Structure 1
Amino acid sequence: MEKDIDKILKNLRLSEKASLLSGGDFWQTEAVERLNIPAIFLVDGPHGVRYVADRDHDDPAKKATCFPTAVNLAASWDLNLIKKAAAALAVEAKARGVDVLLGPGINIKRSPLGGRNFEYFSEDPFLSAELAVEFIKTVQKNGVGTSLKHYVANNQEYKRFSIDAQIDERPLREIYLAAFEKVIKEANPWTVMAAYNQINGDFATENDYLLQDILRDQWGYDNLVVSDWWAVHNRVKALKAGLDLEMPGADPVNDQKVIDAVQAGELKEEVVDQAVRRILELILKTQKKAKKDFKLPVEEHHQLAKEIAGETIVLLKNQGPLLPLTAAKLADKESILVVGELAQKPSYQGIGSSQVNPTRLDNHYQALEDKFGEELELHYTPGYNSEAEPGENESLKEKALRVAENKDYVIIYAGLPEQAEAEGYDRQDMQLPKEQNQLIKELAAVNPNIIVILNNGSAVDLRQWLDKVSAVIEAGLPGQAGASALADIIAGEINPSAKLAESYPLKLEDNPSYLNFPGSSDSVRYGEGIYIGYRYYDKRKMEVLFPFGYGLSYTEFAYRALEAPDYLAEGDKLKIKILIENTGQFKGKEIIQLYLSQQNPSLARPPKELKGFGKIELEPGEKEWLELELDYQDLAYYHPQAGWIVESDRFKIMIGASSREIKFTEDIEVESSFVLKDLTAKSPFEDWLADPLGEKAVKEVLTEAEIEEIGFLKAWPLYRMHFFTPEQVSFEEIEEILDIYENN
């Protein structure tokens, strides 16, 4: 292929240009042999290279390493670990002749029920962005492209091809676009994938505001925008909006529509040329580094998958402490009972387009046998069967209870069924299968040493038995080597260090999106605004099962000192140091989290927002300073009239082991030249009252008497902020919230 793109464009016929704008087949771009323009491969790859050679004949994907899924990678809070995974994925992509990996996915976990939550990092845009930046930089540095997805608000599977996500400007910017903005500006992915859904009335693939005004003009992105597969509804409109490549292909119908539009004067050929230019530029990038002679390092990458999994598994409970089961602890013990269908049939990834055909798959029971088999007797009984006939699970449970009575330890593997962690379907509730919950409760009644291992891609409700068992490990969906990593954690050869990247509410009804998920047949209202995840639970001062950023270790860490400035000038970086000491008996790693809070913002802000984190490894008795640095812009929030702003105000720095375990707080005075009163005065109620849902929506959640008491003008923003009824929030709290707006 010639490197002079201008020359290529002049030599391309209009029909050839149009053909380049859609794929040549399911996974490849179109080739133009006349001008030596090759096709390139784009395949799924968030946690493993899913290369399907012949989709028409339903061939399985070629074997590749299945690394831990995004839910696990995020729980590591470890940028170096992300780099290792990304570098390995780039090697495997080259070994398969793949040019662009379709990932990472950075959509926000708006509800625990989202069917693809396992593919997404977090409920927090800052954490999601930091991880994605390192992933993309590393993959692309190794000569393989990435596709940042799904742009934007692909937060549910219900009606995902058509649902209209109705989102106000501030939550759109602060929550759902924030991670995309940071990644675009810092990592410059070779492609961005436009989502299936609509946003405020326009499909993501045809949304001029999102693709042109924001992505191109405001953020300066000039690489290729590709559609999710079959997400384009109007090819000409999508092209005008800024969508370059339609996938999959080939689509001669849409090619002809582009040709006809140009010839009729409805579409400028310059628009076509710009899209073709971006496609040619992508092809050139992928050709710069040869992909020949790359072999799939099967065993090396399996061991790497195990190493990564060990850093992504969260210890939720350890009463006693029961764990780890070290040689000294097992000296006078005789037996372990392993229970659960999942011990023999590991749940290690979700179902859908990201599903990897693993090079090998470790088995939980075998991994435990290898670890403890020489010292202890290991016994296995299924305890439940997800496909059991009526009455069968009762007999399986009774057998497990009889065997468990005289065993020293019982390790039970539980988790969501395969169909619950699947693209195309949202979960119906937060519950584990009934037979699993009942089995765990009854096992705990006959044996005090119960260790529960969970396999799931998002939050589950554990209240039925959490206080009855001794230890709980959240293994997530840890990839093909997760079983071996988990055995090492149980034995104490790995000290767990991961922490949750999402909140676990007590119950589904506590989730801020509960009343607005998944919406009606044609739209879903993001009525909770900016109050997602821990932001909401903190605002409401609600108890949670496990907070954002939570995770235990086999050792203990003391937060000894904080060094932070008391003043920050405009444009300066915020630099702080935290002294951490390992006061326990095991070598371990601690994740330190930095949250910020503004004292008197002009618009309401959450009580705290994650703005920094770091990870430190210490020997027993060792202490060390951890340094964190924040950009001035990290203090900003989005004002619908002014954009991103930092105000002169007093801010609070909070250093914590989780969002609910704050170890240090420090006040800092922040200087800013921005003055909000310089803006044209406008009532914040104007936009709310112009909403088409308007009075009808208010009357659906508030009685006439309640509306009369607080007034429609106040009832409407109350509804929009998702504070629905006096049972959820007092009128005094309502007045306090609304005063913030009325005083502007």
Structure 2
Amino acid sequence: MDDRIDQLLAKLDLPAKLRLISGAGLFRLAGDPGIGLAEMPISDGPSGVRGESMDEPDPSVSLPSGTAVAATWDPELLTEIGALIAAEARRKDVYAVLGPTINLHRSPLGGRHFESFSEDPLLTAEMAAAYVRSVQANGVGACPKHYVANDSETERFSVDVQVSDRALRELYLYPFERAVEAGAWMIMDAYNGVNGAAMSDNPLLDEPLKGEWGFDGVVVSDWGAVRTTEAASGGTDLCMPGPPMLWGEPLLAALDAGTVSEDAIDEKVRRILRFATRVGALDGTPLPTQDFTDNQARNLVRRFTTQSMVLVRNDGTLPLSPGTTVAVLGPSAAEPRIMGGGSATVFPTHISTPLAGLRAVLPVTHTPGVRLIEGLIAAPTELITDPEIGTPGVRVRYFDGATEIGARHRSIAHMVLLGDELATRATHIEMHARLRADTAGEWQLGFGGIGEVRLDIDGTPAIDENVVDAAGDPVAALLEPPQRSVARILAAGQEVDLRLTIAVPEAIPGLGVLLAFLLGIDRPQRPKDEEFAAAVELARTADVAVVLVGTSEKIESEGTDRTSLRLPDRQDDLVAAVAAVNPRTVVVVNSGAPVEMPWREDVAAVLLTWFPGQEFGDALANVLTGVAEPGGRLPTTWPKTITDVPVLHTTPADGVLAYTEDIHIGYRAWLRAGTEPAYPFGHGLGYTTWSSSDLRVTGRTVSITVTNTGTRTGKQVYQAYLSRPDSTIDRPVRWLAGFTAVTLGSGQSRTVDIDLPRRAFEHWTPEGWEIEPGTFTLHVGTSVTDLPHTTEVS
């Protein structure tokens, strides 16, 4: 491969080389016809492959969030998911997916906590390695991100993380090290700085990444993370997005001036050509991937979702018997949140809601009780009609002045334009629909958008405003633009004509127009107290109450950290009131990260579902009725209250975020503080019972005999931890060293092995990795606090 790359490199002149080390577009790598190199689209990919566009004409399979993936504690499951991710990528002509996100859960307030795997470096590392291997085995590149210490979002473009070398090596770098060992073809560097240097030009890109670890792939910048032309002398190989700006003409001048060497450019090009060879972009024949039918994809995602759900409490109410009458309550029942906000967003072909899933298998009554989504939602397709063709959806027209230059039918009333060709020639865009009210009362009609926006209702101007983006975050502006609305009283069945006009912003050179807008509505609601009381009454008369509570994409999102762990609005009050009238209350928590649950000991069962992807409802119905067992275990500690959290802060002081806790994050910090959480790391329940015995250690392999002592097939995760209470160095009280997931039928026994990596015994010193001589204590069990088996390891 290297000989061929050198031959191709020799055919490129300097301008051609410079074109290759910057993107050709927002999500596209440059090609070169002279050497047979195709342009290579890439895509965001933590929870599904979106492709180059961000709208419904090219839908995507929506996968469970990163926390849900890690909650399976089963890297083997990622073999199948990786094949699906690769198939989705090839279907969209994508050569690399920008994922997984393998930063750590340092604080539960981290805005992208849902997108990352775990608070533990080993669990994160093993899931990351499995993801990389499975996707790349199908010919598509994986791109673990964000290297490194991008563990919160506050001041994310400029914050300087101050962290010790030991914490970097043992915690934050370790998942990336394992991803490199797994053969990652691409790694994304982060916006933040580490110890005084921006990550796009940080010495950590050279050592340990490219030097000690031998990473021979492409280091791609996060979008806009490269700040200077001179950064081309550093370890970032590919400056995104394109077209070349800092690394275009300015870099040519820097080369002429001798401040950047052509040898540095050649090394970057070699890495890009090596990547292109691996993904089949140099000979025009991308590697084949496994095909998935729509049903196969849905079935796989549904099964994966059941394996990620964590049952943290159950008094025997679950699983539910056939014929049980269920009051399905809470804001997430009919309007669940299946993904977090930001670049992890995809547009699935369908969403299985909890309400629909449970209605298909049990007698159900429903009302939300409280609301979670405040503001407008995009007008639902079933309520809107394209006036021109009379089918569900909207008519979108592009104008240059008074001249129409194009028109399209769209099935949804929400558009995100990334380099839309028609938009680059337009001065304004119009979205037109007829809305049919499905209930009588006061409706809110409006829009989301930035710039000069006008809404006409039945031909009369209702809103005409220049809307300004106050947040200043371009990702947030695209995915959650500011909203405006007016109230209108509508009768059931009444139709109104809605016409939204928005000015097109100036195109960004090479990228085109970036614009998002929606035609929005908010249906009439019962008075809040009346709605709350109605939910409690439904709970009183049902056999079981299932209350679905959670967060939203505005609360958990790229671009902002959380400020609270409380459930928004009156969700806690709703759970308490329902539990007071029905002792068989099951609470389903639909959040990507921990929330406070003050009612947790007053309800019959608590099931954590994370942001579970498109198959949420059907998977939930399977778990609640016992068709499937909840297979998840906690990948992160859940606190009782925010005041108990030992590592919480995400707000920099004078631009610096100091990791003063050093190596003590997550359960390590909880154990050190001696504070009891609501639910510990590794905890999770199933529908059967287990016993274990005969712990043995041979070399670095732990063996233990396990038996399913219950009446049905089940899954258990056995976890091995190390401790060294008499150590001469600072250590965690104990730390995860290995794990294995096992599934057995009723009455079955098996001896399972847990391999302990050498790194589990090592600690980082200024001289490198060392092992302290002497004896370690090995603990084996089913959570960090449930460890009945111990032995000594020398």
**What's the TM-score, normalizing by structure 2?**
0.78
Q: Quick check: 1:558–1:583 contact (8 Å CA) kept in 2?
A: yes
* Partner amino acid, structure 2, of 1:520: A
CA-CA distance at 1:391 after TM superposition = 8.9
Kindly provide the CA deviation profile for residues 95-132 of structure 1, in whole angstroms up to 9, marking residues without a partner as x: 11110010111100111111111110000010001011
**Contiguous gaps of at least 5 residues in structure 1:** 566-572, 670-744
* Partner amino acid, structure 1, of 2:7: K
* Cα distance between partner residues in 1 of 2:105 and 2:2: 44
1:41 aligns with 41
* Cα distance between partner residues in 2 of 1:194 and 1:456: 27
Task: Describe the shift of the 1:438–1:391 C-alpha distance in structure 2 as closer, same or farther (beyond 3 A).
Answer: farther
Kindly provide the CA deviation profile for residues 616-672 of structure 1, in whole angstroms up to 9, marking residues without a partner as x: 111222221111222333211112x22211121110010011001012010122xxx
CA-CA distance at 1:599 after TM superposition = 3.9
Return the match for 1:649 from 774, 777, 786: 774
Q: Quick check: 1:95–1:295 contact (8 Å CA) kept in 2?
A: no
Kindly provide the CA deviation profile for residues 593-631 of structure 1, in whole angstroms up to 9, marking residues without a partner as x: 000112433311001110100011112222211112223
Q: Quick check: 1:500–1:549 contact (8 Å CA) kept in 2?
A: yes
2:260 aligns with 267
SS at match of 2:720: strand
* Cα distance between partner residues in 2 of 1:147 and 1:293: 18
CA-CA distance at 1:36 after TM superposition = 3.0
Return the match for 2:364 from 351, 370, 378: 378
Return the match for 2:675 from 534, 542, 545: 542
* Cα distance between partner residues in 2 of 1:191 and 1:387: 37
Kindly provide the CA deviation profile for residues 361-406 of structure 1, in whole angstroms up to 9, marking residues without a partner as x: 112111111112xxxx311111112256999322211111122222
Residues 173-188 of structure 1 aligned to structure 2 (within 5 Å): 173-184=169-180, 186-188=181-183
Task: Describe the shift of the 1:510–1:139 C-alpha distance in structure 2 as closer, same or farther (beyond 3 A).
Answer: same
* Partner amino acid, structure 2, of 1:411: V
2:619 aligns with 485
* Partner amino acid, structure 2, of 1:312: S
2:12 aligns with 12
* Cα distance between partner residues in 2 of 1:142 and 1:225: 21
* Cα distance between partner residues in 2 of 1:172 and 1:575: 27
1:193 aligns with 188
1:231 aligns with 225
Residues 2-401 of structure 1 aligned to structure 2 (within 5 Å): 4-53=4-53, 59-60=55-56, 62-184=58-180, 186-207=181-202, 209-237=203-231, 239-287=232-280, 290=286, 297-319=293-315, 321-327=316-322, 330=323, 335-372=325-362, 377-387=363-373, 392-401=527-536
* Partner amino acid, structure 1, of 2:225: A
* Partner amino acid, structure 2, of 1:12: L
1:425 aligns with 560
Return the match for 1:556 from 682, 689, 696: 689
CA-CA distance at 1:274 after TM superposition = 0.7
CA-CA distance at 1:47 after TM superposition = 2.1
* Cα distance between partner residues in 1 of 2:88 and 2:328: 35
Between 1 and 2, higher relative CO (CA 8 Å, sep ≥ 6) is seen in 2
* Cα distance between partner residues in 2 of 1:608 and 1:253: 47
RMSD of Structure 2 on Structure 1 (CA)? 1.9
Residues 484-633 of structure 1 aligned to structure 2 (within 5 Å): 484-514=618-648, 516-565=649-698, 573-633=699-759
Task: Describe the shift of the 1:296–1:452 C-alpha distance in structure 2 as closer, same or farther (beyond 3 A).
Answer: same
Task: Describe the shift of the 1:499–1:292 C-alpha distance in structure 2 as closer, same or farther (beyond 3 A).
Answer: closer
Q: Quick check: 1:69–1:119 contact (8 Å CA) kept in 2?
A: yes
1:737 aligns with none
* Partner amino acid, structure 1, of 2:82: A
Q: Quick check: 1:194–1:225 contact (8 Å CA) kept in 2?
A: yes
SS at match of 1:272: helix
Higher-helix-fraction structure: 1
* Cα distance between partner residues in 2 of 1:183 and 1:292: 23
CA-CA distance at 1:585 after TM superposition = 1.9
* Cα distance between partner residues in 2 of 1:9 and 1:324: 62
* Cα distance between partner residues in 2 of 1:547 and 1:642: 35
Q: Quick check: 1:557–1:583 contact (8 Å CA) kept in 2?
A: yes
* Cα distance between partner residues in 1 of 2:694 and 2:26: 56
* Partner amino acid, structure 2, of 1:352: G
* Cα distance between partner residues in 2 of 1:36 and 1:618: 52
1:568 aligns with none
* Cα distance between partner residues in 1 of 2:4 and 2:208: 29
* Cα distance between partner residues in 1 of 2:84 and 2:33: 32
* Cα distance between partner residues in 2 of 1:156 and 1:293: 35
* Cα distance between partner residues in 2 of 1:204 and 1:293: 34
* Cα distance between partner residues in 2 of 1:174 and 1:2: 33
> Is the aligned partner of 1:466 residue 2:587?
no
* Partner amino acid, structure 2, of 1:245: L
CA-CA distance at 1:15 after TM superposition = 1.3
Quote the sequence identity (%): 34
CA-CA distance at 1:471 after TM superposition = 0.7
CA-CA distance at 1:223 after TM superposition = 1.3
Higher-strand-fraction structure: 2
CA-CA distance at 1:562 after TM superposition = 0.8
SS at match of 2:601: helix
* Partner amino acid, structure 2, of 1:30: A
* Cα distance between partner residues in 2 of 1:432 and 1:61: 34
Q: Quick check: 1:148–1:191 contact (8 Å CA) kept in 2?
A: yes
Work out the number of aligned pairs and report it.
Answer: 642
1:436 aligns with 571
Q: Quick check: 1:495–1:586 contact (8 Å CA) kept in 2?
A: no
* Cα distance between partner residues in 2 of 1:442 and 1:164: 45
CA-CA distance at 1:269 after TM superposition = 0.9
Kindly provide the CA deviation profile for residues 677-700 of structure 1, in whole angstroms up to 9, marking residues without a partner as x: xxxxxxxxxxxxxxxxxxxxxxxx
* Cα distance between partner residues in 2 of 1:129 and 1:165: 21
Q: Quick check: 1:342–1:414 contact (8 Å CA) kept in 2?
A: yes
Q: Quick check: 2:42–2:52 contact (8 Å CA) kept in 1?
A: no
CA-CA distance at 1:294 after TM superposition = 7.6
